[in-house]
Amino acid sequence: MNRRDFLRTAGGAAGGASAVAAGAGTAAAQEHGGGGGGGSVQPVWPSYVSDANGPGYEDLRGQSEVTIEVGVGSSGFGYGPTTTWIDPGTTVIFEFVEPSHNVKPNSQPDGGGLAGTEGGEFATIPAGETYEATLETNGMYTYYCGPHEGQGMKGAIAVGGDVETEEVGGGGQTPLNPEHMGVPFHPHYVGISTIVMMVVSLLFTFFLLKYGESPNAKGGNN
């Protein structure tokens, strides 16, 4: 067996095992929320808007004015964004991008300032017009379009930090963490598997060089 060949091959095998271990360690760190991953917090929206049309949710806190478009989505029967989180005192501007719609309050906290557009339940606003409401009171507001509520044209606005919240988009179950092991479960397995991989790689390299066909092995070609 040639010592230089052994060291070169063993070093390559150990390096490969280390690279695999590093990748496994990174995956484990990500699985445990390393690197800033995980879900985001948003208000718990009422079931009233569970079937609402529109482009989804936006966190617009920190802005003094926000715009919600009226008449968006593939059907044109939606508010955009459908659900919104804002600070108290924010002015909400409903911008009518399509005709034949309105904004009517469904529910709001006591003292809420969402009066809705003028006229009756089916009085609509022309495209290009706006309706503004400044929402000072903390809580959950829901609203709808009178002519199209049945088609899912509904929305909700959460105001302030006192609303109920939940974490969404966490990406799966929480890993096991047995108390008797002292540290999280998966990192232990990563460490153990790394050691086993390195030992197996070194043993394989040793026997390959000792007994395999090589110009430097006993009985090999010169």
Is position 198 annotated in a ligand binding site? no
Is position 101 annotated in a ligand binding site? yes
- Reference 67, options 88, 94, 89; nearest CA is 94
- Cα(129)–Cα(53) distance, rounded to whole angstroms? 21
* pTM of the complete model: 0.61
Question: Between the CA atoms of 145, 146, 152 and 154, what dihedral angle is there, to the nearest 10 degrees?
Answer: 40
Question: Between the CA atoms of 72, 73, 77 and 80, what dihedral angle is there, to the nearest 10 degrees?
Answer: -50
Beta-strand pair 154-159/83-86: parallel
| Residue 94 one-letter amino acid | F
- Cα(123)–Cα(146) distance, rounded to whole angstroms? 8
Give the relative orientation of helices 185-211 and 3-31 as an angle to the nearest 10 degrees: 160
Classify domain 40-168 by CATH number: 2.60.40.420
Q: Per residue of the chain (222 residues), what is the pLDDT tens digit?
A: 555 555 565 555 555 555 544 454 444 444 433 334 456 999 999 999 999 998 899 999 999 999 999 999 989 999 999 999 999 999 999 999 999 999 999 999 999 999 999 999 999 999 999 999 999 999 999 999 999 999 999 999 999 999 999 998 755 444 444 443 444 444 555 677 778 888 888 887 777 777 765 555 455 455
Matching residue, tokens 């879900």? 39
